Amino acid sequence: MVDWLKSKKAMSPILALLIVLGVTIVVGAVFYAWGSGMFESSQEKTKSALEGQAATMSNDVIPYYVRVGVVGHDESPATFEYVSTGVDADNDKTIKYGEPYKPDKYTKCLKDERVIFEIPIYIRNNAQDKTLKGVTAKVLGLSGHLWWALHLKYDEVNDQYVLLKGDDSTFTGYIGYASADENNAGFTYVFTTSSYAVNISSSASGYKWNGTDLIPTTGEDIEYSTIKAKSSFADYTSSPLKLISADGTNYYLVAINSTGDKWYMATSQAFFRGTEGYNDCKLLFNNPTYNIGDVPPNSVKVANTYIAFGYITSEYLPDIDEISIRIQDSEGTLTKTIPLKFHIEDPEWS
């Protein structure tokens, strides 16, 4: 009996050890299974989060973003407005050169009704490693109309737009009814914010370009004057066409000689006028394609186009929606055609 009791007491630590080892193994297995489940769950959640982020980026981040004007982008129309009592001088619902302004009130008061709109283009390249090469913008819908795409360069220092040729080089020469000719001794032409009119009375003196020389003349033959009229709207005055900038500021065409003196223009007589003068102006200045150049990765490039309306009949007023701009690069990565809408209206139209 004593020997059995001794043996029983001797086995108790062994049983205890076995029990402890068993419990440890079981608990360890439970923790392993639980931990493995959490890790797999965490992996799945991380994977789902990454996939969700990738989906959000692919849907929300547009690689190449194009905007024309202030509102229009991609395929949305870009709208430009010109609403004024000065839109249509004689209220005949036709926009053209040299119309009589309020003929029941003034005698031989002419207003160039034609208008030029500045059309800004914004191109953003969101790609991190892809350059958009050789980007161009082409104005579509001008053919069949007296509508032109002009090229200008904004001079920020002097707040003026310099008239360029269609190849984006500065034009120097003479523009007149008889012809438009390049000449290094001639004028450069700029649009400035100072409004003016030219005196075209029979007693007034001025100049015109006859294709060879700038010669003195009088009355309605005057194309250039070194002195602007005292009033823009009075008897025997001629007011120039206007350029409307993207922010709505009005600019007017003047000629500047080699010494920096301004010569004021009766644009309705000289600019895109006459048979040869018109053809020369169109050849020199009209070019619907604008070279924007390369747009590096993660950058924005801004360019401006200038659409001039030389003649608009009532058929197209007040809303002109025949024009669009196609923007593309040389490699075919970016191609966008954005419609434009111009609203031109005179509140005095009945």
Q: Please report which helix (H) or strand (E) contains residue 250, including its range.
A: strand 250-256
The token pair at 182 is 């390049």
| pLDDT reported for residue 54 | 31
CA atoms within 13 A on the CB side of 245: 16
| pLDDT reported for residue 43 | 44
10-residue mean pLDDT profile of the chain (350 residues): values are 46 58 60 52 42 34 73 64 93 94 93 96 90 96 97 97 98 98 97 96 96 96 96 94 95 97 97 97 98 94 96 96 95 91 93
Residues 197 and 86: beta-carbon distance below 8 Å = no
Please state the separation of Cα 109 from the chain's center in Å.
Answer: 34
| pLDDT reported for residue 33 | 54
| pLDDT reported for residue 60 | 42
Residue 259 CA to residue 242 CA, distance in Å, equals: 25
| pLDDT reported for residue 63 | 79
| pLDDT reported for residue 67 | 82
